[in-house]
Amino acid sequence: MKIEIEKINLHKIIKKAIYIVSALILILLATVGVLTSEFKKIKKFDNDKQSLRSMITSIRKGSNKHYSTKVSVDPTNQTASLGDFTFNIANEKMLILNISMNYVENAGDIQEEIETKGDILRDAVINTMLSKFDVNSNEHAMKREIKRELNSELSEGEVDEIYFNKFIYQ
């Protein structure tokens, strides 16, 4: 009788030991997997763990390091970034855009023209958005009209395509 009880207890102890060792092996594998993964190389948009709401609030206050009004040109890809735009739409609603464009060079140096006319191009986008669009506007119509207005400002080349890299309506 004692031998049977000892066998049952020994069996239970061995079973628990197997569960504990299995759990430790799984924890060890998970730890090694995380430590050797590529997760550390992933770049997040909001490095400061800033929520969308706090980002929009900081844009309203005019202090956001992710918000750019600088026009930049990438001649290798024939693209230009016009930066970020914030529009008050209606009933305290906001539209936040980041606009870039592809361009085609005609005769002269369109890269230099885009850089020197950066403020004029941004102003054309702002005037187009404020005068022609509201809450119910179509994104494709916005792009088409912005492209038309920008092409009227450029003489050394033309805008081929408009891209909204960020389109937040809140």
For residues 148 and 166, give the distance between their C-alpha atoms in angstroms, rounded to a whole number.
Answer: 20
Sheet hosting strand 157-169, strand order edge to edge: 72-74, 79-88, 94-105, 157-169
CATH number of the structural domain spanning residue 134? 3.30.479
Residue 46: per-residue pLDDT:
45
Q: How far is CA 3 from the centre of its chain?
A: 69
Residues 57 and 33 in one domain: no
Residues 79 and 26 in one domain: no
| Per-position pLDDT tens, the chain of length 170 | 556 666 677 888 888 999 999 999 999 998 888 788 776 665 555 444 556 666 666 655 554 455 677 888 888 888 898 988 888 877 777 888 889 999 988 877 888 888 888 899 999 998 988 887 766 678 888 899 999 999 999 888 889 999 998 888 88
Q: Do the domain assignments include residue 147?
A: yes
Q: Do the domain assignments include residue 47?
A: no
Residue 100: per-residue pLDDT:
92
Domain membership of residue 104 as a residue range: 52-169
Residues 132 and 67 in one domain: yes
For tokens 């669009």, the residue is 133
For residues 131 and 120, give the distance between their C-alpha atoms in angstroms, rounded to a whole number.
Answer: 16
Q: Do the domain assignments include residue 46?
A: no
Residue 34: per-residue pLDDT:
79
